[in-house]
Chains A and B, each alone.
Chain A
């Protein structure tokens, strides 16, 4: 109960194609996060699954049944809105009871259900208060309570935490993860915050310009991004990209040249690479102080001391802005406007072809078992 299938789902606004044939399968009990930059269509897709926006073409199936033309309540979904959307004139009890009142549930049964939901969400003491008297986190819990009492097959969350402050967001993230384990329900969660995506998701769907850029477990996206977009989107600060030339293909991988230095990146090559300009990607947290397989002398312009880390920004390759970023240990002895030698290990590098598609990395995942990370394989 709670299986969702999207078959070439499209959405047009006039002639503008917002969603370009989305194919997705969400298994029962899975926590799937849609993530992407604003305007990528993630909220539209969620609203189409909810039945608030019309689907232009393609099929939306819930438990194998086509629901395109059904109203939300017949689809077996419940939705939690970004802005909470609580009814301000009703008490917390009545807010949570609203869906049950609509279906005219007998008072006793209704009371039991509302109280059960309130207990799960620690709202038992607040049932007689109005939303205006609650804090942001409590309001969002009321909104979740209204979804729980319906016992839907699929929960839909539309950026539910983006209105909360940072500390509360971290708390709610943990509570949502616990709630998911407790209810064992299918949850689809839209966010633009990659921390929420990485921490809560069983599987992340990265959307870009109306298309699925990549689907996978959080660490799969981090270690094996399928293209430049996902590589740049997942990870903070953003991945560094350097233009390199392909010198040749060897057993160990692809040999590339960056301003006279050659390095062999352990990736699976494909034909016709030699002589091409490729993009080498390396995450800021993988840049080391001192020489590496590839060494760069840079002059940091801005240094941010975060305590645990020091983030240094520099401009390289005649770039206008700061296009090179290194995440170094917290107490590292570097100063702005003073040259520093940084190194990159070949094993940490990502390589992308001219179309922006990644050459698959031969990552030694000895310390992380991908099988455990990907629920599909487990």
Chain B
């Protein structure tokens, strides 16, 4: 094993303190997931036994089978969530890539105030604007459609995406644009052939954060702007496990895990575009 760099060497008690800290914080973050998974394995009756047992005795994956039966539309909810987030991410990328390039490269009147305004928009949470948005949607007659859940999602995710990608693009040397310009390339040609490939890691980060952001925020928009069952996304769909009399906790937990699985897989696949050092050799730094 190679020695760590001098700056990264610690005494034994420092190492213990570091790992203890890591353990405490990880426990906070991960224990709900562990408990959720364990609950999904237990039969419903065992959940209310006293004294409470953390470890599932005679646990099984039955809940992962029965969940599809007790809420027949669940597959549709997963699809809806996935569909809304994918469309939101695609629209955000199409709009944000050229505008981030413009904010990173061109000097134009109002670019500063515009960027500040984008930050300001982020300070309002979507919740503050729900009522005005609801009235707007009703007037336009788009309530209870995918459109009503996609458009606000896009609007609220664009500002942070522009900030993120602009910062990334500003790190691409300006000489590359100038060299392309001298060689006769137009701005769009430069963006497509030079900037886009180099900015791919940045674009991937923006895509992932937008996708996650859209997954997280669709709950609030779906709750207010949509009442049709067939358009329900996953977070609302989970409510179907809240019965009149009782909550089917084990199936609810199983459904939560199944519901986020496609998103996790997608992000896992996208991660391989997050390669560092793509600009190596472009300019002398």
Contact = CB atoms under 8 A, between A and B. Distances in A.
Decide whether A and B are members of one complex.
Answer: yes
Interface of A: 50-52, 71-73, 77-79, 81-89, 98-99, 101-103, 130-134, 136, 139, 146, 150, 163
Contacts of A89: 197-198, 278
A89 B175 CA distance: 15
Given A52-B178, A79-B179, A102-B189, A85 B184 contact: no
Contacts of A102: 180, 183-185, 189
Contacts of A134: 281
B194 A84 contact: no
Given A77-B182, A101-B193, A139-B284, 6 more contacts: A50-B182, A73-B182, A73-B183, A89-B278, A132-B281, A146-B183
Nearest to A142: B281
Query: Chain B interface residue count: which class?
Result: 20 to 34
A93 to B, nearest CB: 14
Give the interface centre of A79, A89, A101, A134 by most chain B CB atoms within 10 Å.
Answer: A89
B182 A88 contact: no
A85 B193 CA distance: 14
Interface of B: 173, 175-176, 178-185, 189, 193-194, 197-198, 277-284
Contact of B176 (A87, A103, A132, A163): A87
Contact of A133 (B176, B184, B279, B281): B281
Nearest to B280: A132
B175 A85 contact: yes
A233 B47 CA distance: 88
A77 B178 CA distance: 13
A150 B179 CA distance: 13
A86 B197 CA distance: 13
A168 to B, nearest CB: 12
A85 B178 contact: yes
A325 B284 CA distance: 36
Given A83-B173, A87-B194, A88-B198, A78 B182 contact: yes
A163 B284 contact: yes
6 contacts: A84-B284, A88-B279, A98-B185, A102-B180, A131-B281, A136-B284
B183 A99 contact: yes
B193 to A, nearest CB: 8
Contacts of B194: 87
A82 B281 CA distance: 13
B129 to A, nearest CB: 41
Nearest to A51: B182
Contacts of A78: 182-183
Given A88-B198, A88-B278, A89-B278, A83 B182 contact: no
A139 B178 contact: no
